[in-house]
Amino acid sequence: MPKLGVNIDHVATVRQARLGFEPDVLQAAMEAIRGGADGITVHLREDRRHIRDRDVTALRKSIRVPLNLEMSLAEEIVAFAFRLTPPKVCIVPEKRKELTTEGGLAVAREFSRVARAVERLSRRNIEISLFIAPLEREVRAAKKSGAQVIELHTGEYAHARSGHERKLELKRLKEAASLAHSLGLGVNAGHGLNYENVKPVAHISHMVELNIGHSIVSRALFVGMRQAVQEMKRLLN
């Protein structure tokens, strides 16, 4: 059964709506951990739209499960991660105007830039994953870059408009996971996963961890963070 990384960015989104202190991001992380989260994920965006530097620093100090920092390749952010040394980072593409991370990292196209960041962060013993589309060329480029882990982008699967399309996307995820595993890469997945669509992805062979944010934070509004995480964990079992 895959582990569950809970992404709490959108707790900070609600806080930033009033630029204040509540809801408290650290408290959300603690409740998620009490509910069974195996890790906590946050995305420190260049525009600091939700998670702020001080959130990441506080989480790094306080939580007892691994912190996974999602980040772009921007020099300032890479330098921040280098100083903070979270146990894990996930490198993602970032566009200013997007609502959320829209696609996978173009590792094959931006190879030297990615490999340079991987090399730099590896010096701090940080486990590095690359958020990529389930494509053979991206899996192979990720391996060549020196990253230890890939996170497969499940957005196309989650947003498929028909059962047929969803099946095809699931097949692509399975093939990419199997190739990555054969190359010695760890396999995570995430984006757009929710209580309805998560099970088939959780059943993909070699899946190590799923990172899920929006659906859990949304459910937490009604049942609380602890229970929202417990319910998702049950689906992964």
CB of 42 to ligand PXP, least distance (A): 9
CB nearer ligand PXP, residue 9 or residue 138: 9
CB nearer ligand PXP, residue 101 or residue 145: 101
Active-site hit among 43, 50, 138, 169: 43
CB nearer ligand PXP, residue 133 or residue 179: 133
Active-site hit among 10, 50, 153, 191: 191
CB of 222 to ligand PXP, least distance (A): 17
Question: Distance between CA atoms of 168 and 121, rounded to whole angstroms?
Answer: 35
Residue 196 burial (10 A CB sphere; 0-12, 13-18, 19+): exposed
CB of 90 to ligand PXP, least distance (A): 5
CB nearer ligand PXP, residue 30 or residue 101: 101
- 191 catalytic? Reply is yes
Residues 42 and 69: beta-carbon distance below 8 Å: yes
Q: Which string of b and e fits 109-146 if b means at least 16 CB within 10 Å? A: ebeeebbebbeebeeeebbbbbbbbbbeebbbbbbebe
Tell me which residue has tokens 């696609």: 103
CB of 151 to ligand PXP, least distance (A): 5
- 75 catalytic? Reply is no
Question: Distance between CA atoms of 12 and 136, rounded to whole angstroms?
Answer: 35
Q: In which element (H, E) is residue 5 found?
A: strand 3-7
- 206 catalytic? Reply is no
Active-site hit among 70, 94, 138, 156: 70
* Interacting residues with ligand PXP (CB under 6 A): 7, 9, 43, 70, 90, 92, 100-101, 131, 151, 190-193, 211-215
Active site residues: 43, 70, 191
